[in-house]
A and B are shown apart, each in its own frame.
Chain A
């Protein structure tokens, strides 16, 4: 009995032990499963994603290209968010068309006949019976469907049905999407969305950005243009592309098959970055005024073109830069054409940067000051005024005599060398440079920066360095003498304005710049980039001589401001003949001036190409532009008129209308 009891107890013990082991294993299994499930929930494993229907998605986020603004923050070029409407033609023809017409009122629809035709008949079969090649029937059907869509979109958002039809029919069949409109307004997007009402017709609304330009037209060639891919294609858009360009953002997500986001993988989000904004030294208002004024003058003189540059001589800021070309019907144009400009203003060749020309008498102050600096008028290098303005001078080895301009030019009353500048005497300039060696004469040009690029930030390697004769080919008779009155030398408007700044800055020339600021540790370093061309006393003496040009010389009648004191020089150069030599009666008229006299704030240089009527002298043709630009610009930047008796409010005489409230604007 006892044995039986022990045996039973042993069986129970054994069962209990195995039971405990089984329960323990089950519990451990459940615990492990729970832990693994928890683990997967907290940190999902990618390899199971596909099985569970989850999928990785990448969303690209738009970032905007940097803005280009003028010196006062006015926007010139900016990325404009917009929508692009595209279609998948194959999808539309196979499925979308049917969805489109199903809910419409066919009787009132604009293309109801075509639709009825398509819907109410077994069209394919009919066409197949009529037209043997099935392909032709398909194409016909496709055309009808496309026309129907074009008509619908025209009614809905006003995009031309002809244009849409043309795009759809001309698109190569290999292309999946055809863009119907690149730039939809918000109301158009809303209208399309409401019309689609969730239906998938194969139409696609895509977020895009479009580069838009808001400055004066003449600024377009400086700012340039962007390509369709968003990269700069011309002008500053291209030159500063690396700064302006944005980097799109990337957001990686893991989504359910229905699109709900499950997780954002850690460390994968890239915010991207907007492009850097970029401020020009140009002032859009000054630019607009210069553009309008120059256009007026070109019309008045029926000129072939014109350039005008306004700079701040104190820091080299380019305030306005205008280049206009006019094609005249029935006129033998000799100014180099720019066909791309007619296609797209932003593709224009900026002649201020890339074209050099002979300046004529506006160059005289350069050589005059340079000669003074080299010691001309000292006892060792005297100037014999008794030979000046007496008669044409013959120079040994020179092909032509040196003559003074005008109908009866020889007044013989030269009292000082300033008179040479005041009356723009070629004979006087020949006497000024008489004692210079070839090296010295050439060094004057290099000292003022001619023959080297201004590196103002425009044009890059395309900027014209100007043209000066090499020392090897230099001769006194044909080079020094010619250069003294602005022949045998080719300059750009930029170089001329920079050189003229030396007379404004006690002999220092600034580094020209198109973008602001040139700063180191928050301080404008324009001062440190000045290059000395003259001693202060030489610069002052030249400045005074140039003031006489305005007060009693060639700028007295047409180039003199009634508000601001000025100093400057006019020039009238013969126009080069492409066949060789020069035209006898076609000219390049130009004037360069700075104002106010005591503390010059601007240098204005205006060049008018080939004026045809109402005079051709620089003072007559370009003088009024320079005068008005000086008046308007100085008034605008808030410089007080310094001529006695001038309206101290800075208003331009005759242009103020007193009715209405005055509008106050900020200057610089």
Chain B
């Protein structure tokens, strides 16, 4: 009788322990999920921050300023496949004000 009772108590104790383990694992998973979720949120925020930085440093006025600072000139790539020849010849004609039409 005592042995049966002990078996029963041990069995129930085992069950309780399993439930506790289960609960602990559930807590851990939930916390891990929340952490991953927060990381994703932070990453999304970081991506947005990078997008803002890219937008800031590639705005037209900024590119014009850099182009002027470097002393270079835009050259069009032409209509897709038809690339223009980029010769090293100097400019032809005069500038707008030198044309005498303004």
Contact = CB atoms under 8 A, between A and B. Distances in A.
B54 to A, nearest CB: 7
B40 to A, nearest CB: 10
Given A34-B16, A261-B30, A654-B93, A288 B73 contact: no
A206 interface: no
B70 interface: yes
A264 B73 contact: no
Contact of A650 (B55, B71, B84): B84
Interface in A20-45: 23, 27, 30-31, 34, 37-38, 41-42
Contact of A636 (B26, B64, B76, B96): B76
A638 B37 contact: no
A653 B95 contact: yes
A216 B48 contact: no
Contact of A662 (B51, B72, B98): B72
Contact of B82 (A253, A628, A640, A666): A640
A215 interface: yes
Contacts of A27: 8
Interface in B53-102: 54-56, 58-61, 64, 67, 70-80, 82, 84-96, 98-99, 101-102
A30 B5 CA distance: 12
Nearest to A661: B72
A212 B59 CA distance: 12
A42 B23 CA distance: 7
A74 B101 contact: no
B36 interface: no
Interface string A637-654: 111100000011111011
A287 B74 CA distance: 16
A665 B76 contact: yes
B56 A214 contact: yes
Interface residues of A, number: 68
B16 A260 contact: no
B34 interface: yes
Contacts of A67: 51
Given A653-B91, A653-B93, A662-B75, A78 B55 contact: yes
A640 B84 contact: yes
B39 interface: no
Contact of B52 (A34, A80, A285, A667): A80
Given A41-B19, A75-B54, A216-B61, A666 B77 contact: yes
Given A75-B51, A81-B45, A261-B30, A658 B88 contact: yes
A647 B72 CA distance: 18
Nearest to B37: A251
Given A260-B31, A651-B75, A214 B55 contact: yes
A207 B44 CA distance: 13
B30 A664 contact: no
Nearest to A620: B102
A665 B67 CA distance: 12
A635 to B, nearest CB: 5
Nearest to A653: B93
Contacts of A64: 48
Contacts of B45: 62, 81, 207
A624 B102 CA distance: 7
B94 to A, nearest CB: 5
Contacts of B73: 651, 655-657, 660, 662-663
A506 interface: no
B37 to A, nearest CB: 7
Contacts of A660: 70-73
A151 B72 CA distance: 47
A295 to B, nearest CB: 13
B51 A78 contact: yes
Interface in A154-200: none
A639 B79 contact: yes
Contact of B78 (A34, A42, A650): A650
A285 B60 contact: yes
Given A37-B19, A650-B84, A664-B75, A74 B59 contact: yes
Nearest to A645: B92
B84 A648 contact: yes
B99 to A, nearest CB: 8
B72 A657 contact: yes
B12 interface: yes
A153 interface: no
Contacts of B79: 637-640, 667
A665 B48 contact: no
Given A262-B27, A655-B95, A656-B91, A80 B74 contact: no
Contacts of A214: 55-56, 59
B5 A665 contact: no
Contact of A654 (B54, B61, B80, B91): B91
A287 to B, nearest CB: 8
A133 to B, nearest CB: 49
A595 to B, nearest CB: 15
B95 to A, nearest CB: 3
B60 A216 contact: yes
A663 B71 CA distance: 10
A61 interface: yes
18 contacts: A27-B8, A34-B12, A38-B19, A41-B22, A62-B45, A81-B49, A214-B56, A215-B59, A216-B60, A263-B26, A264-B34, A558-B102, A562-B93, A635-B76, A647-B91, A653-B95, A657-B73, A662-B73
Given A214-B55, A635-B76, A649-B86, 10 more contacts: A75-B58, A78-B52, A81-B48, A212-B52, A216-B60, A649-B84, A649-B85, A650-B76, A651-B75, A655-B95
Q: Which 4 A-B pairs have the closest CB atoms?
A: A654-B95, A75-B55, A653-B93, A660-B72
Interface of A: 23, 27, 30-31, 34, 37-38, 41-42, 61-62, 64, 67, 74-75, 78-81, 207, 212, 214-216, 251, 253, 260-264, 284-285, 287-288, 300, 557-558, 560, 562, 624, 628, 635-640, 647-651, 653-667
